[in-house]
Amino acid sequence: NCIFHIASTNQKGELSKMELPKSMLKEPIPMTEWEEKHPKWLLYVVGVIAQYIPDIKEDQSLELDLVICGNVPLGSGLSSSASLEVAVATFLEYVIGPEMSYSSSTKKDQESSIQRALRCQKAENVWCNSPCGIMDQFVSSAAHEGGLVLIDCRTAEYSLIKMKSPAEGETNPVLVVCNSNVKHDIGGGEYPVRVQQCKSATSIIQEAFPNENIKLLRDITLEQVEACKDKLDALFYARAKHVVTENARTLQAKDDLQSGNWAQVGQFMNESHASMRDDYEVSCSEIDALVEWAQQHKGVYGSRLTGGGFGGCTVSLVEASEAESLMEHLTKQYKEILGQDCDCFVTSPGAGARMAM
């Protein structure tokens, strides 16, 4: 059997106790049946544990006492679910041990990070009914201090992109994150709709270019999208245009991050937000206001929505010396003009999940 005692500071320390036979964790537990007995958020934990049940010998049991302390804002587009999943997975791998767990936290190679991310994605897709991609779990699993992660979602390969080190006496820009406090739910909103719209656009463009080996929107050029504009519904055209141009911006930003061309990185961020707002339509008025105010502020290179959209947070690339001023400006404007409170903080690229001994 698997016996769990789980408490979270985000849930006022309320303790949840459960004892489940290992056989029960081989298939997802129906949501209605689960919610009769346990809080919904625990599925993110139990779903991850289920991915590691095959690593445990048949005659062994698993008993865990977990206390979860988190400071990632919930439902804000900052990957709180992925951070929880990967933290649980990393801890589990340490408990189970490298001789039993394939993606062990004691291994630091790429394959281990990849497999951990894939397991956590499966937990969210299957157990939590959330059709998320792999990015959030990947970053939480593979990120290194001072760098960004460039992910190829087709091959599940990644590379670590180091931001250019500042010259002596200088500092790199920082990231200011601003939480609009407009909540979003990736599992129950428009996200699955966008996925289907992209698939529909891909099918139409595939028919127009049957010899191009097009499988996904990533295989399509902007010229091909434009060539199919008359064949595409206006909505499908906009969705395809966003994905194609966003992929191009991402690949181009890699070189600019490494060379320290912050102005160009900021421009890509601004273009990205405009595309998410107008073509992908996943922004909202509160987010648009925060982005606009940031873009107009001294020392800001660029600003955009981050996360799945429909609320959540903005992220702005700003000179370190102007970060405090920017946060004061955003909180003041948000309160005076929209009558609401937003929460801001400064951050920079850090490492992913790890054991602190």
According to DSSP, the β-strands at 2-8 and 62-68 are parallel
- Contact criterion met (CB below 8 Å) for 214 and 206: yes
Give the full edge-to-edge strand order of the sheet including 174-179.
Answer: 300-306, 313-318, 174-179, 343-347
Compute the half-sphere exposure of residue 156: CA atoms within 13 Å on the CB side of its CA.
15
Q: Are 72 and 83 in contact (CB under 8 A)?
A: yes
CA distance 249 to 260: 16
Q: Where are the alpha helices (DSSP H) in 80-190?
A: 80-96, 110-122, 135-142
Best CA proximity match to 236, nearest among 199, 188, 183, 182: 199
Helix (H, G, I), strand (E, B) or coil at 357: coil
Identify which of 312, 318, 349, 317 has the alpha carbon closest to the alpha carbon of residue 75: 312
Active site residues: 136
- Which stretch of DSSP H or E encloses residue 176? strand 174-179
Residue 312 near residue 179, CB atoms below 8 Å: yes
Nearest Cα residue to 157 out of 140, 138, 143, 132: 138
